[in-house]
Amino acid sequence: MIDPIAVSNILGDEVGKEVTVKFLKDNGEERTYTGLINSKDGLKNNERGKTTTEMFESHGIVPLKTSDGYKSFKVHRVLAMKTSDRHIYCMGSHIED
């Protein structure tokens, strides 16, 4: 898996942009999502929304706005990432075009 600090740094550079992320779910299944990082569209700016955001950040969970709604993944479970100008992967877990 890709180093979680590297994943966080890359995601920080891609805020509001489309990324594709391949990661392992807790049950070991691989999953790939494409969407916008840190999109605020549709999020409520209230106490519940702030509590959810704090909980996600403290557990290393990243929300991603996809065409199917909001999805999330854990930074320490990322196998590959693709941005507009980078393709980062480990041990053959690349993302097909």
* Distance separating alpha carbons of residues 27 and 13, to the nearest angstrom: 29
* Distance separating alpha carbons of residues 17 and 94, to the nearest angstrom: 20
Measure CA 91 to chain center.
19
Q: Which helix (H) or strand (E) holds 49?
A: helix 47-58
Query: What is the amino acid identity at position 70?
Result: Y
**pLDDT in single tens digits along all 97 residues of the chain:** 899 999 989 988 888 899 999 999 999 999 999 999 876 555 567 777 777 778 888 888 888 899 998 899 999 999 999 998 888 888 767 677 6
pTM value surpassing 0.85: no
Q: Which domains does the chain have, with CATH numbers?
A: 4-89 (2.30.30.520)
pLDDT at 50: 74
